[in-house]
């Protein structure tokens, strides 16, 4: 009797779950359904193009996908090509691993002006995500502002401040590489509401700023306290102390030697985007931390800039037929359980925080739930599973992309890359399908 499990989404959370399911039982069949023709979620579409080593985890997931009890259905979107209810009718269990793809909105006057972008859109654009290839942000600016004090903000700041040499080893799509290489940007400002000890940058990423040959990172030394507050938990304090040390090291480099500057600015919160149609600057309000919260002081200052990227977090999108937690931006669940046979993992379950491997424990919880719900195998095997899915997709004329198709796309991406770039990505779904369906001579 085979237990059929569908996983919606092929990011880290989906793949960790597939892997855990394969190890849990031999009599299990796992189908991964992905709205894009390409797998791996934010590993492909989020992780920075100059962090190729991080992306190597995809090789591990590839081994999972190539297991014969796993099938990949790319270019199939739940909610568009078929409904969640239809999927549940076909599979014993369904796991949501759809991530949290939407930007948390910057809610200040002027935020809808041209030149203001959310990080999901901006990062998606420079990573060649098909949803964002038409964003075409104007990088013909002298100064850019990034709101946020986490690794996403740091990725954006670093990429804008790298020279063409630094970017040539990346898998930036040609359009993004050209826009960045031609950008005259000299000053990139990263703004945090709190102080340097509260910044959420991981230290490895922050230290990377010291190695950039073309830009210098700067911070007001008077803000660099000797050590992080003692009331922080041990782990957070250790990280904050390391970050403070790294920021102190910024001052050891000579600004005169660098063409570009990344300004780490603290205790400031955005209040208004300035300009007519297009952003020409941003008004910031000084903050102070009172009882652990950053509050405005009423003192404002303006920073001229032609580009603003808000890296202030992500949220999941509501899914038809399921409750939605507006405040947390997730699908409510109990340790990943939504109801019998329906689970959630990754960012849709926990919210948008943590690294790739943070989704591994979610997969272990799914195994607990499956064992509780289906351990006695009652009713298992009566659903149509993979056969039912394939029939439905065929009946609806959906051009599903198999894992072998994806491998063919990937081979083409490698083949058309110019050394030392690792790949030249397909960024358009129609181009991907054309490539796959083009008759071979
Ligand atoms: C900009 C950025 C940079 C990051 N950099 C790093 C890093 O360097 N190192 C690190 O460890 N972590 C990094 N992270 C964090 C890491 O990417 C996440 O922790 C992880 O990707 C979350 O996994 P997930 O599977 O929940 O979501 P995702 O990776 O978002 O995967 C969700 C998948 O579901 C698919 N999907 C969505 N809706 C549907 C639907 N209706 N039907 C079918 N499929 C659907 C999506 O297309 C996507 O492939 C970064 C995150 C961001 C945003």
- Answer whether 10 contacts ligand 1 (Cβ < 6 A): yes
Please identify, by atom number, the ligand 1 atom nearest to the C-alpha of residue 43.
Answer: 17
Average pLDDT over residues 117-132: 98
| 114 vs 97: CA distance, rounded Å | 33
Determine the straight-line distance between the first and last CA of the chain, rounded to whole angstroms.
44
249-280 pLDDT per residue, tens:
998 888 999 999 999 999 999 999 999 999 99
Q: What is the distance in A from the centroid of ligand 1 to the CA of 158?
A: 20
pLDDT of residue 441: 62
Which DSSP symbol is given to 211?
G
Q: Largest Cα–Cα distance in the chain?
A: 72
Quote the ligand 1 centre to 148 CA distance (angstroms).
Answer: 19
Residue nearest to atom 33 of ligand 1 (CA): 9
Confidence of residue 356 (pLDDT cuts 50, 70, 90): very high
Spatial strand order in the sheet of 93-96: 70-73, 28-33, 3-8, 93-96, 342-344, 337-339
Report the residue among 32, 40, 47 best suited for mutation to probe ligand 1: largest number of ligand atoms under 8 A from its CB.
47
Please indicate whether residue 77, judged by its CB atom, sits closer than 6 Å to ligand 1.
yes
Cis geometry, peptide bond prior to residue 37 (ω within 30 degrees of 0):
no
Stated pTM of the model: 0.96
- The strand pairing partners of 339, in sequence order, are 342
DSSP-based three-state secondary structure for 299: strand
Q: Is the CB of 369 under 6 A from ligand 1?
A: no
Instruction: Give residue 266's region: left, alpha or beta (phi > 0; psi -120 to 50).
Output: beta
CA of 283 to the centre of ligand 1 (A): 32
Q: Which domains does the chain have, with CATH numbers?
A: 3-101+316-437 (3.40.50.720), 102-314 (3.50.50.60)
The set of long-range contacts for 354-359, using a CB threshold of 8 Å and a minimum separation of 24, is 356/12, 356/43, 356/47, 356/54, 356/57, 357/12, 359/11, 359/12, 359/13, 359/16, 359/97
Distance 409 CA to ligand 1 centre (A): 20
pLDDT tens-digit series, residues 278-332: 999 999 999 999 988 999 999 999 999 999 999 999 999 999 999 999 989 899 9
Report how far ligand 1's centroid is from the alpha carbon of 43 (Å).
6
Does the beta carbon of 118 sit less than 6 angstroms from any atom of ligand 1?
A: no
pLDDT exceeds cutoff 70 at 133: yes
Per-residue exposure over 340-377, b if at least 16 CB sit within 10 Å of its own CB, e if not: ebbbbbbbbbbbbeeebeebbebbebbbebbeebbeee
Residue nearest to atom 48 of ligand 1 (CA): 41
- The model's pLDDT over 396-410, given as tens digits with 9 standing for 90+, comes to 999 999 999 999 999
Please give the average per-residue pLDDT across 364-385, as a whole number. Answer: 90
Name the β-bridge partners of 122: none
The closest of 304, 282, 301 to 116, measured between CA atoms, is 282
Strand 260-265's sheet: what is its strand order?
Answer: 116-118, 307-310, 143-147, 187-191, 260-265, 215-219
Does residue 164 have a pLDDT over 80? no
pLDDT tens for 150-162 read: 999 999 999 999 9
Choice between 429 and 379, residue whose per-residue pLDDT is larger = 429
- Average pLDDT of span 56-69: 97
β-strand partners of 30:
5, 70
- Which amino acid residue places its CA nearest to atom 18 of ligand 1? 356
Q: In terms of DSSP bridges, do strands 314-315 and 307-310 run parallel, antiparallel, or are they unpaired?
A: unpaired
* Ligand 1 centre distance from Cα of residue 240 (Å): 26
| Per-residue tokens: 91 | 């599979």
Kindly compute the dihedral angle of the four CA atoms of residues 200, 166, 280, 191, in this order, to the nearest 10 degrees: 10
């Amino acid at each position: 009797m085979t237990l059929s499990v569908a996983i919606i989404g092929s990011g880290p959370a989906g793949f960790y779950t597939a892997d855990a399911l394969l190890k849990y039982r031999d009599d299990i069949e796992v189908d991964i359904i992905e709205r894009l023709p390409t797998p791996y979620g934010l590993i492909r579409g989020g992780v920075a193009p100059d962090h190729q080593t991080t992306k190597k985890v995809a090789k591990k997931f590839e081994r999972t996908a190539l297991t014969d009890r796993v099938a990949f259905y790319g270019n199939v979107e739940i909610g568009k090509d078929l409904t969640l209810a239809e999927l549940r009718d076909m599979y014993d269990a369904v796991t949501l691993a759809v991530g949290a793809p939407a930007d948390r909105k910057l809610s200040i006057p002027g935020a809808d002006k041209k030149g203001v972008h959310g990080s999901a859109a901006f990062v998606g654009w420079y990573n060649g995500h098909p949803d964002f290839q038409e964003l075409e942000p104007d990088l013909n600016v002298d100064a850019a502002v990034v709101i946020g004090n986490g690794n996403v903000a740091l990725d954006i700041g670093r990429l804008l401040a790298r020279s063409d040499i630094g970017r040539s080893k990346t898998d930036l799509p040609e359009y993004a590489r050209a826009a960045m290489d031609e950008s005259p940007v000299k000053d990139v400002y990263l703004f945090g509401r709190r102080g340097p000890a509260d910044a959420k940058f991981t230290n490895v990423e922050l230290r990377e700023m010291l190695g950039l040959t073309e830009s210098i990172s700067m911070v007001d030394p008077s803000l660099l306290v000797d050590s992080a507050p003692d009331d922080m938990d041990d782990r957070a304090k250790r990280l904050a102390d390391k970050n403070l040390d790294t920021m102190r090291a910024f001052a050891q480099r000579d600004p005169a030697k660098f063409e570009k500057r990344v300004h780490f600015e603290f205790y400031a919160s955005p209040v208004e985007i300035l300009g007519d149609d297009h952003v020409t600057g941003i008004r910031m309000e000084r903050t102070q931390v009172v009882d652990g919260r950053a509050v405005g002081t009423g003192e404002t200052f303006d920073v001229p800039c032609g580009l603003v990227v808000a890296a202030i977090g992500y949220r999941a999108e509501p899914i038809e037929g399921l409750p939605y937690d507006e405040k947390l931006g997730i699908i409510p669940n109990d340790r990943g359980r939504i109801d019998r046979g329906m689970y959630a993992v990754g960012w849709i379950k926990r919210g948008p925080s943590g690294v790739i491997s943070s989704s591994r424990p979610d997969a272990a919880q799914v195994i607990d739930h499956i064992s509780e719900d289906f351990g006695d195998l009652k009713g298992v095997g009566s659903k149509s599973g993979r056969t039912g899915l394939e029939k439905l997709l065929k009946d609806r004329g959906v051009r599903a992309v198999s894992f072998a198709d994806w491998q063919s796309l990937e081979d083409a991406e490698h083949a058309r890359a110019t050394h030392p770039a690792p790949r030249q990505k397909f960024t358009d779904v129609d181009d991907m399908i054309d490539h796959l369906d083009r008759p071979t001579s």
